[in-house]
Every structure is written in structure tokens, then in C-alpha cells.
Amino acid sequence: MTSLANAGVPAGATGRTPEEAYVRFRSALVEARLLVETGVDGLYVRSGAFEDVVAGIDRRVSAAATEASGRYYFPLVVPRRLLEQTGYLASFPNLTGTVVSFEAGPAAHPAFVEAVEAGREWADRLQVTDLALCSAGCHPLYPSLTGRLESELQVEAFGQIFRHEPSIDPARMQAFRQHEVVYVGTADGALAHRDRWVGRAGELLGSLGLVVEPVVANDPFFGRAGGLLAASQRDEGLKIELTATVASAERPTAIASANCHRDHFGEAFSIALTDGTPAHSACVGFGVERIALALLSAHGLDTARWPADVREQLGL
Ligand code: ZN
């Protein structure tokens, strides 16, 4: 089995562009049958060996989330209205996905089938439903919190995410999962949650043998106003990413991030503290596929040969 680490070739070895490193690492993952290609960049079938690593990461995150009072597993799709309420459409229209289906009735069916069978475009004959693909791990949580919060709240949120950004970088998947720990409560509490989890996530990932670095970052806001939004997010230090080498050492990958939202979601979903002011929120998000890929890059593609303590921590 191909193993970058065992072959003595560090991932992202110098002399390669990041793009060359992406292609090389993706080919190695596919050759090792950890990921199976689908013909669409950023969409993969995952092997049992890969999923065993993901399950181990999830268990480690849950074990560290000692203050969380519950776990919520969100479906792949959300009410389409959620994209409006969160502001996602304004900031990331290019990353969204909505669900369309055939609603034109039996009379339109023969022409539709004819178009499909003739190899003509058929998607424009479908109608937009009231569903969209989930945009972020914590977004589906907020509608359930509308009203007065009796006390601050911490929960784990498991999201199945879609981002429309086809890429040759195996770490930039179009369909992936986020394991989040979300705080909703006071302004000070939200900042404390963000900061506590920068340290805690760094320790957790470091204990698995990853070298991670906290970096002040910004979301890829779209459009003319996007640059300003990104700059203010950076200036305020609201988003801190933990980066590690996956395919390219030259261009590290964010494998987890800790985000403070201020009162954005409290306002948008009318979540109020007992004094009537909008609640603040913060989340830490673990990109479980990216962490699995970082581990495969660091320890080699054969998980049976990973360091014993890493295997033990992940229950492998
Ligand atoms: Zn979140």
C-alpha cells in the first residue's frame, strides 16, 4: 500500500506547487482505496478504513466537549428559508445548493423523459422545492432556540454540509461533515468559548500527532462587499483557524476553526437573554474529513501502521 510518510517523502515536499501536491496526494488516497472518485471533483466515496478514523475523531471531540448538554444530528437538507435567515445567500451565494424536483405534473412528463433520453438539458424543467443543502454545522440549530434563553447553552452539532466549490484538493470536498460545539449565551461567554476551544482543539489535534497552528482568518465572503466583510472579520479576530499540513506544507489546510458570531444569530432568530438583549453565539467546528486526511498525511496511508497511541486514542 502506498504510504507517503513511510516512503520517506514528506507531504508537500519542496519543489512541488500546491496544485501538484494536491494531485499527488489525491492519487495516493485513491490508489490506497481510502477514497473512491466519482467523476466530480470534491465528491468521494469513503472507505471503511477512512470512516473508522472519522468515528474516532468524533469520539475524541465528544469526550472533550465536557460542558455540552446534548447532541444534535442534522439532516443533509434544511428548510430553504434557513439560507435567507442566516444571511448565507448574501455572503456565499456561490457556495449554496438548493433542492429541485419535478413538479410539473403528468402532462409535462413525456417531454421531460424525451429530453433526458435525447441527452438534452433536463434540469431546467425542474422546480425549486422548499429545501436546500445544509450550509454550516451550527445553522440548523438556531431556529429551535427562538425565544428567551433561561440560561446559556452548549451543545454538540453534527452537520452534513454541501459547498459548491469543485477542487482538485482532496481536502476541499463538496460534501463533508462538521462536528461542532456551539455556545449560545452572553457576549463574554461566547468569546470565552471561542478562546477555550482554540486551546482545547489544539491540544486534541496535537495529541494525535498533528502539528497545528492557530491563524486569524476570514470567511470567503462573496461580491463587492465581501472584501470589507472579510477585513472586518479579520480585524476583530472573530475567526481563528487551526491549520495543518494535508497535501501541501506550503499551503496548510484549516482542519478546525473557532468562530465568534457576536449577536448575528441572536438577532436573526430572535434569541434573547433574560434581559431581552439578543444572545451571542460562538462555535468550534472540526472538519472531520480534513482531520482524517491530515492524519493520513502525517502517519501514512496504512492506518494499521500508525503510532500505537494514536490508534488507541481513535479506537482503531
Ligand atoms: Zn458553526
Assess if residue 183 is contained within a domain: yes
Question: How far away, in angstroms, is 116 Cα from ligand 1 center?
Answer: 39
Task: Write the CATH number for 195.
Answer: 3.30.930.10
For β-strands 175-185 and 271-272, DSSP reports them as: unpaired
Question: How far away, in angstroms, is 147 Cα from ligand 1 center?
Answer: 20
Claim to verify: residue 301 and residue 182 sit in the same structural domain = yes
What integer pLDDT is reported at residue 267 of this predicted model?
97
Claim to verify: residue 64 and residue 111 sit in the same structural domain = no
Question: How far away, in angstroms, is 315 Cα from ligand 1 center?
Answer: 27
Claim to verify: residue 291 and residue 308 sit in the same structural domain = yes
What integer pLDDT is reported at residue 4 of this predicted model?
46
Claim to verify: residue 205 and residue 192 sit in the same structural domain = yes
What integer pLDDT is reported at residue 229 of this predicted model?
84
Assess if residue 229 is contained within a domain: yes
Claim to verify: residue 22 and residue 123 sit in the same structural domain = no
What integer pLDDT is reported at residue 10 of this predicted model?
47
What span, in angstroms and rounded, lies between the C-alpha atoms of 273 and 262? 13
Say if residue 124 is exposed, middle or buried (CB neighbours under 10 Å; 0-12, 13-18, 19+): exposed
Assess if residue 205 is contained within a domain: yes
Mean pLDDT per block of 10 residues along the chain (316 residues) reads 42 71 96 97 98 98 97 97 94 94 96 97 96 97 96 97 96 98 98 96 98 90 83 84 95 96 97 97 98 98 98 98
CB 140 within 8 A of CB 79: no
Claim to verify: residue 168 and residue 118 sit in the same structural domain = no
What integer pLDDT is reported at residue 15 of this predicted model?
57
What integer pLDDT is reported at residue 228 of this predicted model?
81
Task: Find the domain containing 262 and state its range.
Answer: 18-94+135-314
Claim to verify: residue 104 and residue 202 sit in the same structural domain = no
Q: What is the dihedral of CA 214, 216, 221, 226, to 10 degrees?
A: -170
CA distance from start to end of the chain: 18
Question: How far away, in angstroms, is 262 Cα from ligand 1 center?
Answer: 12
Question: How far away, in angstroms, is 187 Cα from ligand 1 center?
Answer: 16
pTM (whole model) above 0.85: yes
Question: How far away, in angstroms, is 162 Cα from ligand 1 center?
Answer: 14
What integer pLDDT is reported at residue 227 of this predicted model?
83
Question: How far away, in angstroms, is 252 Cα from ligand 1 center?
Answer: 21
Domain boundary among 113, 128, 143: 128
Claim to verify: residue 230 and residue 120 sit in the same structural domain = no
What span, in angstroms and rounded, lies between the C-alpha atoms of 165 and 118? 29
Question: How far away, in angstroms, is 185 Cα from ligand 1 center?
Answer: 14
